[in-house]
Each structure stands twice: as C-alpha cells, then as structure tokens.
C-alpha cells in the first residue's frame, strides 16, 4: 500500500470508526438515538416506490431497467432535475446535470477533480464529517471558512499561503451538523471570496428542501447565476440528493455545474463505477414526478414538529450554561456544553446510565477541536421519544 493511502486512511479512520460504532448502537434495544442523521423510514413513499419498481420491470421497460446505461444518468430524471433546479432559481440544461450515487459520491469526485496533496479546501468549522472523509482521500489541508450563520457580520479568513485554495465547501441550508443557515449576505460574500481566490464553490444542498419556517434563500449557484447570466460562467458546483426527501437507500443524487466540470465528472464516473444503478434512477424519476411536490410538505410538517418538540424539551431540561442552535430546517440541533464538559465522555455516560445516543461534535472539526459540542438529530424519533430522551439527557448533564 502506498504511503498516501496509509496517511489518508489514518486520518479518516478515527472519525469513520467513531460514526460506525455509533451506528451500531441504533440496533440495540431500548436505546433512544439522536445519533444517526437519517430520515424516518415510515415517511418513505414506499407504496409509490413499489409501483415505480414494478413499472420499471414491466415487459416493455425491463431490458432498459436492468441493462448498462450511460454515465451521465437517466435522461428523464435529468430533465426532471432541470425543472426542479429552475424552481429553486437555477436555470440550466440537461447537459449541466450528472446523476451520482448520492451526493456523497459527488463530494468524492469533486475532491478527486480539484485536490492534489497540499492544496487547501475551505470548510466550515465544524462541517459535514462525510465531506471531510471524502476530501481527505486527496490529502488537502483544511482552512476555516467563516460564514455568518445568521449571527451578524460575515467574516472570512483568506487561506494561509501554504497551498492554493481549490474550493470552498458549504451546506448553506440547515447544515449538518449545526443546523445553521447562511443568510443572503453571507452567500453573496462567499461568491466575492471565491472570485477573489479564483476557486470553486461546492454547494451541498442535501437539506435544501427541508425548511420548516422562514423564507427560502436562493442557492449560492442561483445567486452566482444572477450575477453572471449563464451557468457556463459559474464557479459554483451544486450537489443535490434524494436521500433526505425520497430515499437514501437508492443512492441517487445529482450535480449541477458548468458543462466542462460535468464532462470531467462524467469521465471520472465512467472510470470509477460506469453509472449509477439504472432501475433506481427510473424509480426515483417516477416517484419524483408522481409525488415530490406533495411529499415534501408532509416531511416538513412531521420533521418541523419534531424540531419544535426538541427545542422545547431542550429549553425545559437543559441546565444553565448549555446552548443550542435553532435551525429553520434539516435534521440537526447543535448543542454547546459548558466548557470542560466533553461530548464523548457525555455520550459514554448517557449510554450507560440513561440509554441515550448522539454524536460527539469533535469529529466534525478538521482539527478535532470542539470537544464540548454534540449533535442531536430529531428526524428519526417521534415526539414522545424526543421529550423523554432530552429529559434523560438533562438528568445526565445535571448529575
């Protein structure tokens, strides 16, 4: 094995294994888990998927559904995505859309496309763990991307001169892990910064559709389009996913970008896995056309109520000195514990004494700071469970 891979693996192993061990907890009986950032499976449009897979495997389409396909993805789905992107402010053509196996794959390919060892990637501090893992394989250094998070003036650090900045990565709406949203001013400032640094922007829209209150803010790519007039002049690469809206298990996501970027990604995908599963793309296309617009409001109602319940429970049960975010959407609330309280220690104690799970926040920081933070997910627990779990967590924290 090459040195680079030993290195890349070492840096990602600790964090990956933390999450992996945590995911195993979900299967233990009696555990109240706020750990996994996963959708509630009872909300999947499963009847629609059953019908869609049946249609895909009907005599006239089964040969298509089970056969090799093109690397760009299933054309009708890419056409639906062109419409979908237009609805959120992004005018593009099918040639600007690539289907990926979840947006996680897009992050891997974008790391491969942009990063050489020693290059700089700007990321949030904290940021999505899976983005760090995907980029780590290409051995960048990480520098801190300051975004306002709706809390006053944005402040950006230019990267130190140690490695060219290749991109800024962010999830502007209800980010994993903080739940925070970058406001309009923050997005515009980010575009200024990217122009100054001549770097790409990787916009992770995984949670974009899941807004529970407040006005939608245009995607960074939509704002750049408004400035530049054509997607071909944009440096922002938008990564979308059906994982949080229709189903994560089908592994269908997408990338929208200028044609030269898409062309490079298509070649990468062809070399890396040929194409995403044909039948899954057909089924997602079918279900998206049948019920995306009616399904999303349903998710918003259920998840929004769970968010409210968790916020209320935190208010009721957390001792003084504990702070948390108040997300307008997504799946996560980010809790900052009093200084000196360690999130990993708290997890150990919470599991042992009250059977409550969550993710210690440290893993989301490229430099493993943030030891006094934890991430709570409200998406996959009913409201009673949320109330009970937060009550127990409050007990542990006061003990």
Question: Which parts of this chain interact with a copy of itself (CB under 8 A)?
Answer: 1-5, 9, 12-13, 16, 20, 23, 36, 38-39, 41-42, 44, 46, 49-50, 53-54, 57, 59, 62-70, 101-102, 104-105, 108, 112-116, 119, 130, 133-134, 136-137, 166, 243, 247-251, 264, 267-268, 270-280
211/193 Cα distance (integer angstroms): 27
CB of 186 to a copy of itself, least distance (A): 26
Contact 115, 286 (CB under 8 A): no
Nearer Cβ to a copy of itself (243/325): 243
171/163 Cα distance (integer angstroms): 23
CB of 185 to a copy of itself, least distance (A): 30
Nearer Cβ to a copy of itself (38/396): 38
For residues 71, 74, 78, 84, the Cα torsion angle rounded to the nearest 10 degrees is -130
395/399 Cα distance (integer angstroms): 6
Phi, psi of 241 (to 5 degrees): -155, 145
Q: What angle do CA 289, 57, 93 make, to 5 degrees?
A: 35
Q: Is the peptide bond before 126 cis (omega within 30 degrees of 0)?
A: yes
Nearer Cβ to a copy of itself (268/310): 268
CB of 314 to a copy of itself, least distance (A): 26
CB of 242 to a copy of itself, least distance (A): 10
Nearer Cβ to a copy of itself (209/346): 209
Nearer Cβ to a copy of itself (260/340): 260
CB of 59 to a copy of itself, least distance (A): 8
CB of 108 to a copy of itself, least distance (A): 4
Nearer Cβ to a copy of itself (45/154): 45
CB of 251 to a copy of itself, least distance (A): 5
Q: Which residues contact 278 (CB under 8 A, 6 or more apart)?
A: 64, 65, 66, 67, 68, 69, 74
Nearer Cβ to a copy of itself (44/207): 44
- Going along the chain, which residue ranges are E strands? 32-33, 97-100, 120-123, 141-144, 165-170, 200-204, 236-241, 253-256, 323-324, 332-336, 356-357, 359-360, 373-377
CB of 115 to a copy of itself, least distance (A): 6
Contact 328, 211 (CB under 8 A): yes
Nearer Cβ to a copy of itself (52/346): 52
Contact 397, 346 (CB under 8 A): yes
């Amino acid at each position: 094995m090459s040195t680079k891979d030993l290195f890349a693996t070492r840096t990602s192993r600790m964090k990956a294994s933390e999450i992996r061990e945590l995911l195993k907890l979900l299967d233990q009986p009696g555990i109240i888990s706020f750990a996994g950032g996963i959708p509630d499976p009872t909300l999947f449009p499963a009847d629609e998927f059953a019908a869609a897979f049946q249609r895909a495997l009907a005599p006239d389409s089964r040969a298509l559904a089970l056969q090799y396909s093109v690397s760009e993805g299933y054309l009708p789905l890419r056409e639906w995505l062109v419409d979908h992107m237009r609805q959120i402010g992004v005018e593009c053509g099918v040639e600007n859309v690539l289907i990926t196996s979840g947006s996680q794959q897009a992050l891997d390919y974008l790391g491969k496309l942009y990063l050489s060892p020693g290059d700089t990637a700007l990321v949030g501090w904290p940021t999505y763990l899976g983005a760090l893992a995907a980029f780590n394989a290409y051995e960048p250094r990480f520098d801190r991307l300051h975004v306002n998070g709706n809390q006053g003036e944005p402040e950006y650090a230019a990267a130190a001169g140690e490695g060219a900045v290749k991109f800024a990565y962010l999830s502007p709406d209800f980010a994993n892990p903080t739940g925070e949203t970058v406001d309009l001013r923050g997005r515009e400032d980010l575009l200024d910064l990217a122009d100054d640094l001549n770097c790409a922007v990787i916009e992770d829209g995984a949670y974009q559709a899941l807004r529970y209150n407040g006005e939608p803010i245009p995607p960074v790519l939509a704002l750049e389009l408004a400035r530049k007039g054509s997607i071909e002049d944009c440096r922002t690469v938008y990564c979308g996913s059906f994982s949080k809206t229709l189903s994560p298990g089908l592994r269908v996501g997408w990338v929208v970008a200028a044609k030269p970027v898409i062309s490079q990604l298509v070649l990468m995908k062809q070399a890396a896995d040929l194409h995403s599963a044909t039948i899954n793309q057909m089924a997602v296309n079918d279900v998206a056309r049948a019920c995306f617009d009616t399904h999303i409001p349903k998710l918003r109602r259920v998840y929004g109520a769970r968010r409210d319940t968790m916020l209320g429970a935190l208010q009721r049960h957390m001792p003084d000195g504990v702070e948390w975010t108040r997300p307008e959407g997504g799946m996560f609330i980010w809790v900052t514990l009093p200084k000196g309280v360690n999130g990993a220690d708290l997890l150990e104690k919470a599991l042992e004494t009250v059977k409550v799970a969550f993710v210690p926040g440290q893993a989301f920081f490229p430099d493993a700071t943030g030891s006094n933070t934890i991430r709570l997910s409200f998406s996959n627990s009913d409201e009673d469970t949320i109330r009970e779990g937060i009550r127990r967590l409050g007990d542990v924290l006061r003990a």
